[in-house]
A and B are shown apart, each in its own frame.
Chain A
Amino acid sequence: MNLINLELISFKIALVLCVVSTAGYLLSLLVKKIKLAKISTWILSAAFVFLTVNLLFAVINFSGLINPGSRDFLSLCAWSVCGAYLALQFKTKTRILGVFISPFILLFMIAAAGEASGKYLLPQNLQSRLTAVHLFLTIVGEALFIIASCAGLMFVMQNSLLKNKKLSRMSRLLPSLNDLDRINHICLLWGFPVLSVGIIAGTVFAGFSWKAGWLTDPKIIWTFAGWIIYGFLLHQRLAIGWKGYRMAVISGAAFILLLLSYGSVRFCFSTLHNFI
């Protein structure tokens, strides 16, 4: 069995495990059983292991660090969200957060599965170590922002249940407000510098390669808008002392807005970042 086969097999196993864990998470919400969410977290951990193996094989097979395949790029997106979520599970036992996170991971995986193997993500002129660093850090930064926002949305749900004096099954299933706020805080704290370095790497590369005109690229504007919102939230949290509900609402709303604007940029405009 050659390495390409091993890469494909590990990807397929990871995909199946992602499907199972997402189904498990959604079912746990439906039947309101935390145990199912716990099992799904273990399955997702296994998916993460296989995805790591898959990416290692991808690096060995195609020197993918500098020029990743389209599939590997999307796998990397899934891997980043998954890794960040699982790392947070060590800090806070908020398994049910997976209900919101796992569909994103699965979407990345399905998109990755749809990409032909061996197709390179970057055009020849964009292949460099700097773009690799830019891609990786931007993805990890955005992944952390996804988690911060999901925690924010869950905070809003839990807040509304508790404000309405309801200690329902749903409320029992959702994590505590403090834990959700902590996740939001940790993700912003780590995500912002990571995204910043990612953007700087991209800017340096663009400054050298594209010279002019790239600043008005819709996707760059979108990323920059995300970075500004990120920075604003972090500033309000650290300097002004925003906590809890307000942070949750704004990060949730910003996330939905960014998601919608990304969708419209992706499908309506031709950009310098057509490959993502």
Chain B
Amino acid sequence: MILLIGLNHKTAPIAVREKVFSGCQEENDLLSSLLSLTGVGEVLYLSTCNRVEIIASVEESEDAVQSLSDFLARNGGLTPVEAASCIYKYYDKEAVRHIFRVAASLDSLVMGETQILGQVKDAYRQALAQHATGVVLNRLMHCSFRAAKRVRSETAIAVNPVSVSFAAVELAKKIFGSLAGKKILLIGAGEMAELTGTHLIGNGAGEIIVANRSMPQAIALAEKFHGEVVSLDALDAKLIEADIVISSTSAPAYIVTADLIRKIHHQRKNRLLFLIDIAVPRDIDPAVSLLENVYLYNIDNLQDIVDENMNVRKKEAIKAEMIVEEEITRYVSWQKEQESVPTIVSLRNKAEEIVLAEMDKAAGWIKNLDKEEQEKVDNLVNSIVNKLLHTPVAALKEESSEFSSKDIVATARRLFRLDD
């Protein structure tokens, strides 16, 4: 059976997740240790900043479940009470659903984020490199990747940004197209401005200029971006150069006024100007937004966009869950088919044994036949055996893909005395 055991941001606080993560990282040859546990056949270890999970194909016994659970608790130094409250266990179909939802980013802290699929793929690659997975987990992981890919391509779950800084980047792209060579002016050296600046630079923006009242803070921030530092007195001149302005000071009055922008507009040669005001109280006069080619967004405007995008994601998540269910059905159906495979193989082996034994008995008269006639007898025997086996084999495959295969497999084994 498939077992998924672990803890995530919903069940465990960060302190506990950290302990388990570090404990597992310290383990030498983690996958080999997991494989050596009683009843564990195949295993995969997934750890991200929000989760630590072990997915395993195990024998149907409590020992395997217990040993994996103990492994996590021991490495994380968790008390039995902590372990009981933090660690979740999913079996078979529920385990499949969980890993599919994780890969499709439906279980993430920020639903629809795109990093998780890469992390799941990395975990699988590691397991594959150490030969820790087999038929069951290989198929499971490939199906989870397919489910995630379908969710990404058939829904808009990951299309729109759900963080203020990414919303600002998207807006900048809608104004400037490519951000290559665009100059960013940070007024104030706040954390949020820094984050937005980082995303803009990450998306190709050119140079960063930091204007701040406190120079040491401005220098520290500018060094991070290899940017230029200016005092607030030089703001007018730098506003002429800038394409994107992010303001986040704690000034009590407007730093950038409509008059100032109007005054420099001609010197700016009417270039488009994107202003982001994330300060409270606001740094930029709202009247600026009435000017031609000037686009002003404050923190509330950005938050509104984020909220709207979040609602879209929630709606898309319903579609995504349906896709995941479809993929679960496909996987479970394959899994059930696999349960009947050993029986089908035994059945064919038994038939082959009978054919060989009977051909041996008839060898006396068969050898008197010429080669062509011998071939005809061989073909006849094989054809009869195949036709006789076709119906039970097809029934085993069909029934096991739709219902639980245990009953029909047991019946077939008894009927053909495969266990004798």
Within residues 285 to 323 of chain B, which ones have a CB less than 8 A from any CB in chain A?
A: 289, 292-293, 295, 297, 301, 304-305, 308
Q: How many residues of A contact B (CB 8 A)?
A: 21
State the Cβ distance, B154 to closest chain A Cβ, in Å. 12
B417 sits at the interface (CB 8 A): no
| Contact present for B176 and A178 (CB under 8 Å) | yes
CA gap between A176 and B308 in the complex, in Å: 21
Main secondary structure of the interface of A (DSSP, over half): helix
Q: Count how many pairs of residues, one from A and one from B, have CB atoms less than 8 Å apart in the complex.
A: 58
Interface residues of A (CB under 8 A from B): 92, 158, 162-163, 165, 167, 171-172, 175-179, 181-182, 241-246
B404 sits at the interface (CB 8 A): no
B-side contacts of A171, CB under 8 Å: 174
Q: A165-B301, A177-B272 are in contact. Are A243 and B174 (CB under 8 A)?
A: no
User: Which 9 pairs across A and B sit closest by C-beta, in order of nearness?
Assistant: A176-B177, A243-B270, A244-B293, A165-B301, A179-B177, A178-B177, A241-B269, A178-B176, A245-B292
State the Cβ distance, B276 to closest chain A Cβ, in Å. 12
Question: Nearest chain-A residue to B290 (Cβ)?
Answer: A163
Given contacts A163-B289, A182-B177, 14 further A-B contacts (CB under 8 A): A162-B295, A165-B301, A167-B170, A167-B305, A172-B174, A176-B173, A176-B176, A177-B174, A179-B177, A241-B270, A243-B271, A243-B272, A244-B293, A245-B292
Among B167, B171, B270, B304, the residue within 8 A (CB) of A162 is B171
| Contact present for B177 and A92 (CB under 8 Å) | yes
A-side contacts of B174, CB under 8 Å: 158, 162, 167, 171-172, 176-177
Within residues 167 to 199 of chain B, which ones have a CB less than 8 A from any CB in chain A?
A: 167, 170-171, 173-178
CA gap between A242 and B167 in the complex, in Å: 29
Number of chain B interface residues as a range: 20 to 34
| Contact present for B269 and A176 (CB under 8 Å) | no
B-side contacts of A163, CB under 8 Å: 289, 295
Question: Nearest chain-A residue to B300 (Cβ)?
Answer: A165
Show 26 residue pairs from A and B whose CB-CB distance is below 8 angstroms, ordered by the A residue.
Answer: A158-B174, A162-B171, A162-B295, A163-B289, A165-B301, A165-B304, A165-B305, A167-B167, A167-B170, A167-B174, A172-B160, A176-B173, A176-B176, A176-B177, A177-B176, A177-B177, A177-B272, A178-B175, A241-B266, A242-B270, A243-B269, A243-B270, A243-B293, A244-B270, A244-B292, A246-B270
B-side contacts of A92, CB under 8 Å: 177
Interface residues of B (CB under 8 A from A): 160, 167, 170-171, 173-178, 266, 269-272, 289, 292-293, 295, 297, 301, 304-305, 308
| Contact present for B289 and A175 (CB under 8 Å) | no
CA gap between A241 and B269 in the complex, in Å: 6
State the Cβ distance, B203 to closest chain A Cβ, in Å. 13
Question: Nearest chain-A residue to B292 (Cβ)?
Answer: A245
CA gap between A72 and B274 in the complex, in Å: 47
State the Cβ distance, B308 to closest chain A Cβ, in Å. 8
B-side contacts of A175, CB under 8 Å: 177
CA gap between A167 and B269 in the complex, in Å: 26
| Contact present for B175 and A165 (CB under 8 Å) | no
| Contact present for A244 and B304 (CB under 8 Å) | no
| Contact present for B297 and A165 (CB under 8 Å) | yes
CA gap between A244 and B291 in the complex, in Å: 12
State the Cβ distance, B158 to closest chain A Cβ, in Å. 14
B-side contacts of A244, CB under 8 Å: 270, 272, 292-293
CA gap between A92 and B289 in the complex, in Å: 27
CA gap between A240 and B86 in the complex, in Å: 68
State the Cβ distance, B408 to closest chain A Cβ, in Å. 46
CA gap between A245 and B271 in the complex, in Å: 10
CA gap between A172 and B266 in the complex, in Å: 29
CA gap between A241 and B268 in the complex, in Å: 10
B-side contacts of A178, CB under 8 Å: 175-178, 272
Question: Nearest chain-A residue to B293 (Cβ)?
Answer: A244
CA gap between A252 and B175 in the complex, in Å: 19
A-side contacts of B295, CB under 8 Å: 162-163
CA gap between A163 and B173 in the complex, in Å: 15
State the Cβ distance, B389 to closest chain A Cβ, in Å. 49
B-side contacts of A182, CB under 8 Å: 177
State the Cβ distance, A174 to closest chain B Cβ, in Å. 8
Question: Nearest chain-A residue to B172 (Cβ)?
Answer: A176
CA gap between A243 and B271 in the complex, in Å: 7
B-side contacts of A241, CB under 8 Å: 266, 269-270
Q: A244-B270, A244-B272 are in contact. Are A167 and B171 (CB under 8 A)?
A: yes
| Contact present for A176 and B271 (CB under 8 Å) | no
CA gap between A182 and B175 in the complex, in Å: 12
State the Cβ distance, A234 to closest chain B Cβ, in Å. 15
Question: Nearest chain-B residue to A165 (Cβ)?
Answer: B301
CA gap between A178 and B305 in the complex, in Å: 21
Question: Nearest chain-B residue to A247 (Cβ)?
Answer: B270
CA gap between A175 and B297 in the complex, in Å: 19
